[in-house]
Amino acid sequence: MPGTLALSLLLAPALAASAPAGGGPAVAPLDAVIREWSVPAPGSRPHDPAVGPDGSLWYTAQRTNRIGRLDPASGQIREYPLPTPESGPHGLAADARGNVWYTASTAARIGRLDPRTGEVTEFPMPDRRARDPHTPAFDPSGILWFTVEQGNLVGRLDPATGKIELREVPTRDAEPYGLAIDGRGVPFFCEFGTNKIGRIDPRTFEIREFTLPAAGARPRRLAVARDGTIYYSDFARGYLGHLDPASGRVEEWECPGGRGARPYGIAVTPDGAVWLSESGVEPNTIVRFDPRTHRFARAAIPSGGGVVRNMAATADGRVYIACSGVDRVGVVEPRR
């Protein structure tokens, strides 16, 4: 049902332009506005955000078994209950028709919500190993690709037929996690259980793995730049990484919060800037990285964040976030 909740409009609290005690690089204050809204039910644990075709902010309310929609212009929130109890809605992706798709990470299925009617259609996994579908994303042809973390699988779902196909990741216990699609429709995914990033051939479903130079690297989320290269958050080591799939070259930069920064959610905006959140810093931060100058700017999240597990970039350069531990969703608006 529609909700009208108080809007928290705050300038991003600036952090000092110096190298932090954790050993990270020098960093400038981030010039941005961060707006946050409380979701209707305490303890919801909003997990992943997504951008709707109309610019709305969608989120999964993981612990209350709902999908939510925020209108950033009005601040109104509406939540939709899901039919399978305790299904653990996790990742989100919106299709071109305005339907919102989610992974039910504790119910071994993928769901499709029609916001116009509230009707939910569910697609059960065809293999019992696929017990925890994780991150979904659409390719340009409308096929939904997804990861299955503990099942060590990647999959694709054809919305026209409902058919689901699965492939096992070559590396054992790879924990396929974050996933994104490049401009040519090629899916890339993080292998959080090891120091690799995977690429899927969308025609043959063959998987190629790129081994990152640091054995201790643990890529958790990734985002695709306009040139087809990959930026990823190295959660274990506190680095922002950059992979060029054409050459296999890897660059990396230590995050402003140092080795304990635990970078998590990440996105690339249309201007090429890379955005991420440091979950190991209290309060959590929003960080902007300029690929041209290799410089960071950051600000504290006003509510504290409570772990920003994923981000979504809008066409006009804003960044949508879900703040799991404080039951809020938010919009980061850079100043021009």
Q: For residue 252, what is the domain's CATH number?
A: 2.130.10.10
Average of per-residue pLDDT across 275-295: 97
Residue with tokens 């078994």: 65
Q: What is the pLDDT of residue 11?
A: 55
Confidence class for position 1, pLDDT limits 50, 70, 90: very low
Residue 144 lies in a domain: yes
Among 121, 142, 124, 141, which Cα is nearest to 133's? 124
The token pair at 59 is 């989120």
Say whether pLDDT at 3 is over 50: no
% of residues, the chain, pLDDT over 90: 92
Q: What is the pLDDT of residue 135?
A: 98
Q: What is the pLDDT of residue 26?
A: 77
CA atoms within a 13 Å half-sphere pointing along the CA-CB vector of 306: 17
What are the pLDDT digits (tens) for 299-334? 999 999 999 999 999 999 999 999 999 999 999 999
Q: How far is CA 245 from CA 211, 216, 313, in A?
A: 11, 20, 22
CA distance 263 to 286: 10
Residue 120 lies in a domain: yes
CA distance 108 to 263: 28
The token pair at 131 is 């017990």
Confidence class for position 4, pLDDT limits 50, 70, 90: very low
Average of per-residue pLDDT across 101-125: 97
Residue 23: which region, alpha, beta or left (left: phi > 0; alpha: psi -120 to 50)? left
Residue 248 lies in a domain: yes
Q: What is the pLDDT of residue 18?
A: 39
Q: What is the pLDDT of residue 2?
A: 35
Say whether pLDDT at 105 is over 70: yes
Say whether pLDDT at 5 is over 60: no
Cβ burial, residue 75 (10 Å; 0-12/13-18/19+): middle
What are the pLDDT digits (tens) for 49-92? 999 999 999 999 999 999 999 999 999 999 999 999 999 999 99
Average of per-residue pLDDT across 93-117: 97
The answer to whether 274 and 266 are in contact (CB under 8 A) is yes
Q: What is the pLDDT of residue 257?
A: 96
Among 141, 53, 148, 131, which Cα is nearest to 94's? 53
CA distance 321 to 329: 6
Q: Quick one: how far is CA 66 from the chain centroid?
A: 18
What are the pLDDT digits (tens) for 239-249? 999 999 999 99
Say whether pLDDT at 295 is over 80: yes
Residue 226 lies in a domain: yes
Among 311, 298, 255, which Cα is nearest to 280's? 255
Q: Which residue range is the domain that position 88 belongs to?
A: 2-7+42-271
Q: What is the pLDDT of residue 178?
A: 98
> Is the dihedral angle over the CA atoms 328, 334, 335, 336 positive or is it negative?
negative
Residue 34 lies in a domain: no
Q: How many domains does the chain have?
A: 1
Q: What is the pLDDT of residue 164?
A: 98
Residue 330 lies in a domain: no
Residue 305 lies in a domain: no
What are the pLDDT digits (tens) for 15-58? 644 344 445 567 999 999 999 999 999 999 999 999 999 999 99
The pTM assigned to this predicted structure is: 0.93
Among 171, 165, 266, which Cα is nearest to 222's? 266
> Is the dihedral angle over the CA atoms 147, 319, 116, 79 positive or is it negative?
positive
* Cβ-proximal residues to 236 (8 Å cutoff; 6+ apart), any chain: 216, 217, 218
Average of per-residue pLDDT across 278-292: 97
Q: What is the pLDDT of residue 215?
A: 98
Find the radius of gyration of the CA atoms of the chain: 19
CA distance 227 to 205: 23
Q: What is the pLDDT of residue 7?
A: 41
Strands 27-29 and 295-300: parallel
Task: Please report, as a single letter, which amino acid is at residue 205.
Answer: F
